[in-house]
Each structure stands twice: as C-alpha cells, then as structure tokens.
Amino acid sequence: MELINKSDALGMFRTGRMKFLRYETTDLAKHIYGETAIVIGRLQGTRKINDRELQDDWRFSKVYVRRHTEWRVVLWQVSDWPMP
C-alpha cells in the first residue's frame, strides 16, 4: 500500500473512488498511559477502488492522545497479515 496523507485519503472517499464494502476489527487490545492510549488489533475488510475489489487482512496500531475530554488519533499504522 502506498503512503498517503490525510487530504489524499479524504479525497478518495469524497470522489467515491474508494468505498469500504466490509470493515471488521478483531483481536483488540488497549493500553492506556495517562493521556495516551495505544490500541492494536486486526482489520479484515473488502474495499472497492474504481472497479477493482480488494480483500484486506491487516494488523494495525493506533495511538490516541486525550485533549481535554476528547481522544484524538495521532498515529495509525497498518501492515499486511500474515507478513510475507
């Protein structure tokens, strides 16, 4: 998967170029360290890009930071699973 920034990712959804047909998270684990939280898990899904349907099986990590009363994602990283 190529590296994309936030505006590129949002642009793909706005244009309809990419749609998620299935999105399921499992194997979740969370760790909270004061104002920071780390969530790891597995993401399995089906997405459609243009006319191509793709099956994804990823492991992911998300890092959240609490600002006032809201948790905000500051990092999201995914890797293919199982690793080649």
Inter-residue contact 53 to 73 (CB < 8 Å): no
Q: Structural domain of residue 34, as residue ranges?
A: 6-80
pLDDT in tens, 28-82: 999 999 999 999 999 999 999 888 999 999 999 999 999 999 999 999 998 887 7
Inter-residue contact 61 to 79 (CB < 8 Å): no
Domain count across the chain: 1
Does residue 63 sit within a domain?
Answer: yes
Does residue 26 sit within a domain?
Answer: yes
Question: Which residues 6+ apart lie within 8 Å of 53 measured at CB?
Answer: 21, 46, 47
Does residue 1 sit within a domain?
Answer: no
pTM for the full predicted model? 0.74
Does residue 69 sit within a domain?
Answer: yes
Residue 62 sits in a domain whose CATH number is: 3.10.450.50
Give the Cα separation of 76 and 39 in Å (integer): 10
Does residue 34 sit within a domain?
Answer: yes
Does residue 39 sit within a domain?
Answer: yes
Tokens describing residue 46: 């089906």
